[in-house]
Amino acid sequence: MKFRTNQSVSLLLLFILGAGGCAVTDRQIIDQADQAHSGLKPAVINDRELSDYIQSVGDRIVEAAKEADRNKVGPPSHFKDPDRDWMFSKKMQFHFVNSKTLNAFTTGGEHMYIYTALFQLCQDENDLAAVMSHEYAHVYSRHVQKGTQRQYAIIGSALAVGAAGALAGGKEHATEYGSAAGGAAMAAGQLVGTTFTRGDEAQADEYGFYFYTHAGWDPQLFGHFFQLMIDKGYDKGVAYLSDHPTLASRVEAAKKRARELGPEADRWRRPPVASASRFRELQSRAAQLSKTLPDDASLAKTQQLLAAIPRSCLTPAIQADQLEAQKRLQRDMEEQEKR
């Protein structure tokens, strides 16, 4: 397959060099995430009520993280660069993406994504806030920057190349070029089987719990969503990754952290952004909107990519639908190479 522009080649080269051990800066990750976002836009739900709601929840998390930064709370990776203001700016965005896949992820920059299927599984705002806090903690801890071999750097690079390819193709060939370029980057990054490390996930749970509790949600319920995943059988799958923490261990760790909180934790408690009834209304709205969004070729490609992304934050196993989506992406790439 021939790449159509120097931009596509440069992005892929940047990724390959990063995989070889070159340092990745915050600026590179932010730019990469912005380009990735352009490839995900077909699936982003642009509804004012839902967007305002998820952003309001996210803003509380970011506010708590900013306080943590001021108090020097965080891993060494967070404090290695004095320029950290971008992590607490108004540019930090949380998005609902329309997908039947149960997942959430971040590309490490200023975008975090919650799948609508995950939103529907949440019993209340505590579940949603716990997942969002965990995702933001990956950004706060610079887990993408720590190693481009790791899952989200691979995803971000693949999405960035795909987005660049789509831009190069223009209106007539955006889907074709984006799919081909993105597929090639995924193959180069060996997407299949790559995940965050056990340490990364444990750290995201640790600081996610800190943000979640200091933002005012119930400490006893941080691990509840993981328990929901266990109840639905997600603690096992097609290919178990032994170096990844089990959901059960993460539930126990969350309970332990809650027990160890001091009496000052009572001062952090705040009402949820949405009441229980309002939360259910928002879930219903998301479900209805998901049925009415356009089903065109660009959206189909985006949905396939969303399904292929690993679910390390939510399950220690590779799921069957994830494997199938990755195979389809590989077949698409091979077909593009033959043309």
Residue 300 pLDDT grade (very low, low, confident, very high; cuts 50, 70, 90): confident
Chain centroid to Cα 289, Å, comes to: 21
SS3 262: coil
Instruction: Write out the DSSP string of 138-153.
Output: HHHTTHHHH-TTSHHH
Express as a percent the part of the chain with pLDDT over 70: 73
**Residue 12 pLDDT level (bands cut at 50, 70, 90):** very low
Q: Which residues pair with 95 in a beta bridge?
A: 113
Q: Per-residue pLDDT for 8 more than 50?
A: no
Asked whether residue 273 carries a pLDDT value surpassing 90, the answer given is yes
CA dihedral 87→44→310→11, nearest 10 degrees, is: -70
pLDDT surpassing 80 at residue 76: yes
Q: How far apart are CA 24 and CA 221, in angstroms?
A: 35
Higher pLDDT, 217 or 181: 217
Report for 19-23, 36-40, 311-315, 318-322: range of highest mean pLDDT: 36-40
CA atoms within 13 A of residue 144's CA, in its CB half-sphere: 30
Region 79-95 average pLDDT: 95
Mean pLDDT of the residues in the chain? 80
Inter-helix orientation angle 151-189/297-308, to 10°: 110
Give the separation between CA 228 and CA 251, rounded to whole angstroms.
Answer: 10
**Residue 162's pLDDT is what?**
53
pLDDT at 311: 74
